[in-house]
Chains A and B, each alone.
Chain A
């Protein structure tokens, strides 16, 4: 159990286009979903926290108009990178939090590799 999927796993796009990444909890309902970005030195940076049915909470320095998050249901959150630029190229990872599996923890998706040309 506790599987989180992301789609697509890889995407290459032209500068100026928008890209949508989906994050789904497949076998549990997630009270909260998180979006992370992984930088080349391996550290993970939390971008935003989203709860179903409410606006996402963005971390300082993350542009909410550029990284649009929609948490449509307890099993789906989407991250849209609008007007992508090469500096947005990165590995984006989502996670889903639940306390329904016996412990309060986060389960991570496999990540999406975004390359902006």
Chain B
């Protein structure tokens, strides 16, 4: 099966909070990332979390990591229409440099 899994689609209303979930299978993940991709564009690094952390907050973004369940989430507070994009969760293992991506979650924010 997939190493990193995400739900494919999420729809929220402007001003609400969005929570995008991700599960991974490899317990040796050292870094976990969230990337944003706007239509036709490349990936933009949003935030990352080290595997020894449970939570990281960065302005409107909150990342929660549950290592026991191998579950990562990205919460976007006060979601705006400009947040509409595809969000990718990715993991990096041990001493390796390569990233393993999920298939991405399309976030649609309606006014």
Contact = CB atoms under 8 A, between A and B. Distances in A.
Contact of B101 (A6, A43, A97, A104): A43
Given A103-B48, A104-B31, A42 B40 contact: no
Contacts of A111: 40-42
A105 B45 contact: yes
Q: Which of A41, A93, A105 has the most CB of B within 10 A?
A: A105
Q: Is the interface of A mostly helix, strand, loop or mixed?
A: strand
Interface string B79-109: 0000000101000000001110111101000
Contacts of A58: none
Contact of A43 (B40, B42, B45, B103): B103
Contacts, number: 49
A42 B43 CA distance: 12
Interface residues of A, number: 23
B98 A49 contact: yes
A110 B98 contact: no
A42 B86 contact: yes
A46 B86 contact: no
Interface of B: 31, 33, 35, 40-45, 48, 86, 88, 97-99, 101-104, 106
